[in-house]
């Protein structure tokens, strides 16, 4: 590797800390300490993006470099959003009914997933779970005991946050899972009813200095996007969990700002 040893040592330290933060997400404190250390000690400022990517791949087990899900950046019409046998949902499940606005937004989400299929029939009811495990990846909602583990990242909202990015090309966003639900949909008269596994997410607004610290650290606004079709996302679209630090005060060249800092913690 043709780069200086101090940079490599700093990156190795970052990767070690990232692994520790990932293992301690459920402790409600590991991710906050991780983000705070990165900012206070400016850990990533001397590591170039090119070297970060190359070293991360060379140090990792090749099997772990593969995306946890195959649907994280593809056009959304290619997503398989149905419930799978290997998804493990927590018990008990609570049966609920969509509010009027929620029903409209999830209908619009299905319209984006299945364009041209106007005969869809949806249930007004859904089953809510607090957490789900998929291929060893554990996602929880903000109502669980480990609330900080509800932070995720995904390519889902569009640039304005008012709709879904159908092409999968919008920047990765930070969000908080508010609930995990299973929902029955019949796409047309000739098809069977299918159960979809969906997360309801509160997305942080984009910040103009998103990559200020490093491309591996996402800077977001503390404010949340208004509810929209992007509120609902298939769990298969979620890229992974993240360490998050909210209400972090930082002075940019335009003055002090209260921001949200997120570091993805992919397997």
What is the pLDDT, as a whole number, of residue 38? 59
Largest CA distance in the chain: 63
Nearest CA-CA partner of 47 in 81, 18, 24:
18
Lowest mean pLDDT among 49-53, 193-197, 256-260: 49-53
Asked if the bond preceding 266 is cis, omega within 30° of 0, the reply is no
Q: What pTM does this model have?
A: 0.78
Q: Quick check: 147 and 214 in contact, CB under 8 A?
A: no
What integer is the mean pLDDT of 130-155? Answer: 83
Mean pLDDT to the nearest integer, 233-244: 90
Per-residue pLDDT band at 145 (split at 50, 70, 90): low
The pLDDT of residue 207: 95
Q: Are 130 and 141 spatial neighbours (Cβ–Cβ below 8 Å)? A: yes
pLDDT bracket for residue 27 (50, 70, 90): low
Q: What distance in Å separates the CA atoms of residue 239 and residue 69, rounded to the nearest whole number?
A: 7
Residue with token string 């419930």: 83
> pLDDT value at position 165?
93
Q: What is the pLDDT of residue 6?
A: 54
CA distance 93 to 224: 27
Q: Token digits for 91? A: 């018990």
In whole angstroms, what is the distance from residue 267 CA to residue 260 CA? 22
The pLDDT assigned to 40 comes to 58
Q: What is the mean pLDDT of residues 108-130?
A: 90
4: confidence class by pLDDT, cuts 50, 70, 90: very low
Report the alpha-carbon distance of residue 185 to residue 124 in Å, rounded: 10
Sign of the Cα torsion 108, 110, 114, 118 reads negative
Hey, how many other C-beta atoms are within 10 angstroms of the C-beta on 28?
Answer: 13
Q: Residue 212 — pLDDT band, cuts 50, 70, 90?
A: confident
**Is 80 exceeded by the pLDDT of residue 160?**
yes
Count the neighbouring beta carbons within 10 Å of the beta carbon of residue 133: 14
- 54 pLDDT higher than 70: no
Q: What per-residue confidence (pLDDT) applies to 79? A: 87
**DSSP state letter for 238:** -
Whether the pLDDT of residue 154 is over 50: the answer is: yes
Section 200-218 average pLDDT:
90
Q: Is 27 exposed, middle or buried (0-12, 13-18, 19+ CB in 10 A)?
A: middle
User: Among 173, 162, 186, which residue's Cα sits nearest to residue 239?
Assistant: 173
Which of the two residues, 173 and 91, has the higher pLDDT score? 173
CA distance readout (Å), 246 to 34, 151, 204, 262: 13, 11, 10, 9
- HEC profile for 200-216? EEEEEEECCCCCCCECC
User: Average pLDDT, stretch 171-186?
Assistant: 94
Residue 140, SS3?
strand
pLDDT exceeding 70 applies to what percent of the chain?
71
Name which of 65-74, 82-91, 105-114, 129-138 the model is least confident about. Answer: 65-74
In the structure encoding, which two tokens stand for residue 126, read together? 């859904």
């Amino acid at each position: 590797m043709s780069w200086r040893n101090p940079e490599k040592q700093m990156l190795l330290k970052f990767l070690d800390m990232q692994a520790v933060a990932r293992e301690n997400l459920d402790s409600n404190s590991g991710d906050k300490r991780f983000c705070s250390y990165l900012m206070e000690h400016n850990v990533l400022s001397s590591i170039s993006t090119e070297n970060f990517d190359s070293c991360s791949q060379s140090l990792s087990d090749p099997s772990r470099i593969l995306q946890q899900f195959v649907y994280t950046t593809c056009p959304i019409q290619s997503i398989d959003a149905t419930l799978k046998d290997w998804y493990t949902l927590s018990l008990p499940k609570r049966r609920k009914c969509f509010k009027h606005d929620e029903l409209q937004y999830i209908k619009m989400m299905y319209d984006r997933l299945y364009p041209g299929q106007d005969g869809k029939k949806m249930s007004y009811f859904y089953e809510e779970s607090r957490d789900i495990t998929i291929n060893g990846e554990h996602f929880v909602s903000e109502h669980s005991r480990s609330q900080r583990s509800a932070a995720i990242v995904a390519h889902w909202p569009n640039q304005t946050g008012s709709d879904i990015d159908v092409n999968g090309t919008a920047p990765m966003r930070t969000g908080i899972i508010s609930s995990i639900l299973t929902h029955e949909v019949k796409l047309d008269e000739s098809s069977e009813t299918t159960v979809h596994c969906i997360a309801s997410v509160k997305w942080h607004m984009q910040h103009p200095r998103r990559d200020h610290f490093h491309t591996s650290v996402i800077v977001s606004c503390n404010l949340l996007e208004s509810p929209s079709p992007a509120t609902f996302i298939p769990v298969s679209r979620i890229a992974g969990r993240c360490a998050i630090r909210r209400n972090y005060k930082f002075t940019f060249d335009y003055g002090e700002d209260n921001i949200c800092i997120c570091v993805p913690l992919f397997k």
